[in-house]
Amino acid sequence: MDGYAFKKESLELTYEVGDDIGSGNFAVVRRVTYRDSGQEYAAKFIRKRRGGGRKGARMEDIHKEISILRSLDHRNVISLYEVFETSQEVILILELVTGGELFDHISRKDHLGEEEASAFIGQILHGLKHLHDNNIAHLDLKPENIMLLDRNSQSIKLIDFGLAQRISEKEDIRALMGTAEFIAPEVVSYERLSLATDMWSIGVITYILLSGASPFLGDSQQETYHNITALNYEFDQEYFENTSDLAKDFIRRLFVKNPRKRATVDDCINHAWIRPKKQNEELQ
Ligand SMILES: COc1cc(-c2ccc3ncc(-c4cccc([C@@H](O)NCCN(C)C)c4)n3n2)ccc1O
């Protein structure tokens, strides 16, 4: 994988390994401290698939995630510093964020005011623009994978690139993956995935930030999938009576079934609900 060797020496020589702080597919995230400086990092320990088993991540998937992370450098995208490898695991040394998941931030407040929601979505869009300008789709955007830099910060970082893919016109990528309530119709229908697949998820995240409700979530995965492919959602007055038409227009432009007609990340960044408000005043 682009000639990138992983360090084979013991991680423990350089880092003191602390507590588990999270977990995901075949991975555990631990807080680690660089012994020489005392600087803290997050270490993602990914279990390697052995032999013909199904447990653990395939090396080609691990290499893809590392290659994607190494090609990104943006204030709203988690940074990868170095990689270690043992016989059982690959260990990613990552920037540590301590503000918790955006999901928890919403849960504490039930939902956010439009200004706070617009500010969060704006940051997510700038991080996502960096991915999309590099033809990388995240493909697992959800509040749990958007973290706050620290407890007092409104700064966010996109994490968890385990499903991320390089998108090209030449290669047709299809997969049923991601978390049901956030996936786009083309994922449900096993059709070609693209950068636009992330934009649908931005619409779902925006809807949740503003209302605390999930637009397509049904009583079963089957019902959720049906709601997505049928675009069966509404701006229920119970949750949206005080939401601006501009915010609803922003969401409507993302809940478009045809990926080619869906708003792009640049369309969203330039949308009046996101564009810095002072510019709006100048335009009036
Ligand atoms: C780059 O890929 C990842 C990064 C991280 C990551 C990077 C920095 C960092 N600082 C703190 C944390 C952290 C703290 C608490 C929980 C979690 C995580 O388990 N929950 C979000 C991940 N997803 C599996 C829901 C992650 N992280 N997590 C987690 C999973 C990843 O796949």
Per residue in 194-226, pLDDT (tens digit) is 999 999 999 999 999 999 999 999 999 999 999
Mean pLDDT in the chain? Answer: 93
Could you tell me if 122 and 73 are in contact, meaning their C-beta atoms sit under 8 angstroms apart? no
pLDDT band with cut points at 50, 70 and 90 for residue 108: confident
Closest CA to 209 of 75, 76, 119, 98: 119
Chain centroid to Cα 163, Å, comes to 10
Phi first, then psi: give them for residue 229, nearest 5 degrees. Answer: -70, -25
Reply yes or no on whether the pLDDT at 1 is more than 50.
no
Residue 229 CA to residue 106 CA, distance in Å, equals: 26
Active-site residues, by number, are: 140
Cα 97 to ligand 1 centre (Å)? 8
pLDDT band with cut points at 50, 70 and 90 for residue 4: low
What's the pLDDT at 103? 85
Reported as a single tens digit per residue, the pLDDT across 24-77 is: 889 999 999 999 999 999 999 999 998 878 889 999 999 999 999 999 999 999
What's the pLDDT at 24? 82
Residue type, 247: A
Residues with CB under 6 A from ligand 1: 21-24, 29, 42, 44, 69, 78, 94, 96-97, 101, 144-145, 147, 159-162
Cα 159 to ligand 1 centre (Å)? 6
∠ Cα 44 48 50 (to 5°) = 165
Reported as a single tens digit per residue, the pLDDT across 159-187 is: 999 999 999 988 888 887 889 999 999 99
The pLDDT of 137-147, averaged and rounded, is: 96
Could you tell me if 213 and 229 are in contact, meaning their C-beta atoms sit under 8 angstroms apart? no
What's the pLDDT at 156? 96
What's the pLDDT at 282? 60
Give me the interface pTM, i.e. the ipTM: 0.92
Reply yes or no on whether the pLDDT at 78 is more than 90.
yes
What's the pLDDT at 172? 86
What's the pLDDT at 278? 66
The pLDDT of 5-10, averaged and rounded, is: 88
Closest residue by Cα to atom 6, ligand 1, is 159
> Ligand 1 pocket check: which of 160, 177, 201 to mutate, most ligand atoms within 8 Å of Cβ?
160
Closest CA to 207 of 199, 215, 219, 196: 215
pLDDT band with cut points at 50, 70 and 90 for residue 110: confident
What pTM, to 2 d.p., does this model score?
Answer: 0.93
Over its C-alpha atoms, the chain yields an Rg (Å, rounded) of 20
Cα 158 to ligand 1 centre (Å)? 9
